Amino acid sequence: MGVIELENVSRAFTVTSRTGLRRTKREVRAVDNLSFTVGRGEVVGYIGPNGAGKSTTIKMLTGILVPSGGSIRVAGVDPSRNRLKLAKRIGVVFGQRTTLWWDLPLKDSFAVLQKMYGVPRARHAENLATFVELLGLGELLDVPVRQLSLGQRMRGDIAAALLHDPEIVYLDEPTIGLDIISKARLREFLAQVNKDRQTTIILTTHDLDDIEALCSRVMVIDHGHKVYDGTLTGLRSSQSAPRTLVVDLAASLPPITIDGATVTKVDGPRQYLTFPTTTSAAPLVAQIAANYPLQDLTIAEPTIESVIARIYATPTPVTD
Ligand SMILES: Nc1ncnc2c1ncn2[C@@H]1O[C@H](COP(=O)(O)OP(=O)(O)OP(=O)(O)O)[C@@H](O)[C@H]1O
């Protein structure tokens, strides 16, 4: 049994638009017949283009929105009917907004949360000490939230979302606007928490490096439908995005010609050839070595960006 279970879940909104004096109503199916199960301790990337239905899904999982159809179980309960009870078992972070009290020093926000969630004092102190150390919050505890930088505030928000030991955490764009070092620190922290506490993490992000760093599984949603659910490796190969051979020759030559690969770029003695994921690289390398002054050669896998761009272009359901 999963900690999160969705079965044929849909959510529609009625949108009214106005042309001149005429008002027309139409239905937008933000989430359409969506089913998935997430097991305890999984870190799942939940990705898709703008307007795909990600936030609507997360809102239904937290109980803020009621589905128009289908069933949802989170930690064994229906979120919309058990919203308050469930709030103790989940944590939520929205990258764009803070859940901390703007005028209070960070430590006071944490103290309020301890009371709100009824966390035993000793457990709160233990968690706080761990998070302060792992997230480097020591010097920030006395600073009012309004004076924190974006990266500092985000570390505070993430600690706040985890202080009551939630079983499940929803993270919506947690690294948005952060510099590379802050991003790396947050990713390390989340990986550690997942490992130590078996916390289930659902991560919504446009930063595919977050996915690469944290998620063993990725779900892609488009127009309210799940268009992929599987591993990152599977995602790469499912779309058979071409791989690239980067060939360094002893001299600058016109584009080389071999069977099974095509030159896409020539940069001095370096030439870039693409070939399908389904083709083995070995015979291509042999052909080049036999016919050209080959000095060095590397094979580049398709980037996640290129794979996802392909998925968005052709939304056909695939499963790993
Ligand atoms: N309250 C609402 N009323 C009407 N339409 C809505 C409402 N909330 C969402 N929608 C529509 O539902 C669709 C899905 O929106 P949603 O916010 O879930 O997408 P998203 O994947 O989170 O997008 P983004 O990456 O831009 O945050 C969009 O077409 C959106 O306009």
Query: Do 45 and 205 touch, CB atoms closer than 8 A?
Result: yes
ipTM: 0.97
Instruction: Report if residue 282 sits inside a domain.
Output: yes
C-alpha 29 – ligand 1 centre gap (Å): 9
- The answer to whether 244 and 274 are in contact (CB under 8 A) is yes
Q: pLDDT tens digits for 46-105?
A: 998 888 899 999 999 999 999 999 999 999 999 999 998 899 999 999 877 888 999 999
Residue 248: which CATH number?
3.30.70
Atom 31, ligand 1: residue with shortest CA distance = 51
- Give residue 177's pLDDT: 81
Determine, yes or no, domain membership for 230: no
- C-beta of residue 7 within 8 angstroms of C-beta of residue 43: no
* 198, part of any domain: no
- For position 317, what pLDDT does the model report? 47
Residue with the smallest CA separation from ligand 1 atom 13 is 30
d(CA 26, CA 28): 7
Per the listing, tokens 């070092």 go with 181
Model pTM score: 0.80
Sorting pLDDT into bands at 50, 70 and 90, what band is 108?
Answer: very high
Is 286 part of any domain? Answer: yes
Please indicate, yes or no, if residue 188 is contained in any of the structural domains: no
In the reported structure, the alpha carbon of residue 33 is separated from the centroid of ligand 1 by a whole-number distance in angstroms of 16
pLDDT tens profile 216-251: 899 999 889 998 999 887 887 776 667 889 999 999
User: What's the rounded Cα separation, in Å, for the pair 274 and 157?
Assistant: 44
Mapped onto helix, strand or coil, the DSSP state of residue 220 is: strand
- In this prediction, residue 319 carries a pLDDT of 46
Q: Which of 233, 252, 250, 230 is nearest to 241 (CA)?
A: 233
Q: Which residue, 159, 145, 132, 58, is CA-closest to 104? A: 145
Residue 273 lies in a domain: yes
The pLDDT mean for the chain works out to 89
Name the burial class of residue 190, with classes exposed (0-12), middle (13-18) and buried (19+) by CB atoms within 10 angstroms of its CB: buried
Calculated CA dihedral for residues 289, 255, 302, 241, nearest 10 degrees:
-110
Q: What is the DSSP letter of 183?
A: H
| pLDDT single digits (tens) 274-298 | 988 778 889 999 999 999 999 999 9
Pocket-forming residues, ligand 1, beta carbon under 6 Å: 13, 15, 28, 30, 48, 50-56
Give the Å distance between the CA of 10 and the centre of ligand 1. Answer: 13
Number of domains in the chain: 1
**Does any domain span residue 146?**
no
Model confidence pLDDT, tens digit, residues 136-176: 899 999 999 999 998 899 999 999 999 999 999 999 988 88
**Element (H or E) spanning 19, and its range?**
strand 4-19
Specify if 296 maps to a domain: yes
Q: From atom 24 of ligand 1, which residue's Cα is the shortest distance away?
A: 50
Residue 289 domain boundaries: 242-301
The number of beta carbons lying within 10 Å of the beta carbon of residue 12 is 16
